[in-house]
Amino acid sequence: MNILLHICCAPCSFYTIDKLRQDGHKVRGFFYNPNIYPLSEYKLRRQGVADMAKRLNVDVMYQEQPLGGGSAKTPEIPQRGIFGSKFALARPASGGAPCPLAQNRFCSTPTVVADKQQRCSNCWRMRLTEAVQTAKKQRFDAFSTTLLISPYQNHDEIRIIGDELGKKEKINFYYNDFRVGFKQSQQAARESGCYRQKYCGCEKSISESLATKRDSGSLGMKFQAGK
């Protein structure tokens, strides 16, 4: 099958892409992650994906605006992220269209912020909605996501969302439990020198990751978003 693979980050891509190719599929990457905060972190992750793509010789689309709209002008982006209220113009991550950092309403709805389960669910749906619409528009046989490799994500819910969106758009959501290759994928990213992030993506996940590390006693490591 010809699969459009939503890519969340470089480390989750190495094994996933190799596995899909080994199973006989053609893969094209799709980077659309407006949840990533701050802009400096977005740039690092985007570049990490570009480095991975070059190493694996895989084509990657970088979607900087939702398919449904957005003008050509640079959007207003919260300086303090999706949970802040101060706004400033955000410049493109690497030329072309403006970076979509934190502009999406799904992640910024105040009533959702405090509820991690709902916030994450909305974030997965936001990104997979863009992926399935792009896959349908460009006539791919199926779409999938590297989120399926992470043991830190709600695997079952991601599968449910993917299946639901696939049925709605009449395009197959390709499911595979890639988690068996998580450590292998991380090691490949480490050996390649690709950027490896220290938290999930949104502003809220920074404090959540710090709290987890504090509780486990592993906070001694350097932790600074976008560094």
CATH number at residue 14: 3.40.50.620
- In-domain check, residue 208: yes
pLDDT value for 227 = 40
Cβ–Cβ under 8 Å, residues 188 and 15: yes
pLDDT value for 71 = 35
- In-domain check, residue 194: yes
Which residues span the domain enclosing 123?
Answer: 2-68+109-216
Report the mean per-residue pLDDT for the chain.
Answer: 81
Q: What is the enclosing helix (H) or strand (E) of 78? A: strand 76-78
pLDDT over 90 for what percent of the chain?
64
pLDDT value for 214 = 72
pLDDT value for 113 = 57
pLDDT value for 91 = 36
Q: Extract the tokens encoding 213.
A: 């590390």
Domain count, the chain: 1
- In-domain check, residue 104: no
Give the pLDDT band (50/70/90) at residue 135.
very high
Alpha-carbon distances of 56 from 13, 32, 60, 203, rounded to whole Å = 10, 19, 11, 30
Q: Extract the tokens encoding 186.
A: 């991380």
- In-domain check, residue 95: no
- In-domain check, residue 193: yes
Q: Extract the tokens encoding 196.
A: 């490896």
- In-domain check, residue 225: no
Q: Extract the tokens encoding 67.
A: 């398919």
- In-domain check, residue 84: no
Q: Does a cis peptide bond (omega within 30 degrees of 0) precede residue 38? A: yes
Q: Which has more pLDDT, 108 or 130?
A: 130
Check: pTM over 0.75? Answer yes or no. yes
- Burial bucket for residue 209 (CB in 10 Å: 0-12, 13-18, 19+): middle
Q: Which has more pLDDT, 227 or 75?
A: 227
Cβ–Cβ under 8 Å, residues 136 and 171: yes
- In-domain check, residue 89: no
Q: Extract the tokens encoding 5.
A: 């693979």
Residue of 3, 32, 26, 27 lying closest to 128 (CA atoms)? 32
